[in-house]
Homo-oligomer: A and B are copies of this chain.
Amino acid sequence: MNTQDLPANILDPNCPSRVIFQRIGDKWASLVIQVLGEGPVRFSELRKMVSVVTPKVLTQTLRALERDGLITRTVHAQVPPRVDYELTAMGESLLQPLSLLREWAESHVPTILEARDAYDDAQDEALLGSPSWAGRTGLPRG
């Protein structure tokens, strides 16, 4: 669904689906949605649960999600104020895809940490142990 009304395609930089995909993949947005999966939460609670996010960035994230129709924001005119955030139906429909990703991340932690160690060791070795003409390209240096 780009300007030419072709089918949505994330690889097309002009396609809104790409922007939306990146909004979902935002650093904080996906965490917020998963927290709200349990039910409505107020601002300060959200801040504690999605630690460590600064209020400015949390506000930005929430506004963006609200604009996209994924959450609602309800203000109770009290003092001190109470503002509840809650998933919309569309927001809830994101929970399942997100939880799959979350499970993937949580289950692959050990493997990825090992891969990082191996990579970092290889880097160190390349810097310290090998002759200076052996670069990453496999070709001689200039």
Contacts and interface: CB of A to CB of B under 8 A. Distances in A.
A87 to B, nearest CB: 13
A68 B112 contact: yes
Contacts of A138: 75-77
A124 interface: no
Main secondary structure on A side of the interface with B = helix
Interface in A1-43: 1, 7-11, 13, 15-18, 20-22, 24-27, 30-31, 34-35
Instruction: Tell me how many chains of this kind the complex includes.
Output: 2
A107 interface: yes
A137 B81 contact: yes
Interface residues of A, number: 64
Interface string A67-98: 11100000111010100000000100110111
A67 B115 contact: yes
Interface in A96-119: 96-98, 100-102, 104-116, 118-119
Contacts of A110: 1
Nearest to A140: B77
B101 A69 contact: no
A50 interface: yes
A13 B51 contact: yes
6 contacts: A11-B31, A16-B113, A17-B102, A68-B112, A77-B139, A98-B101
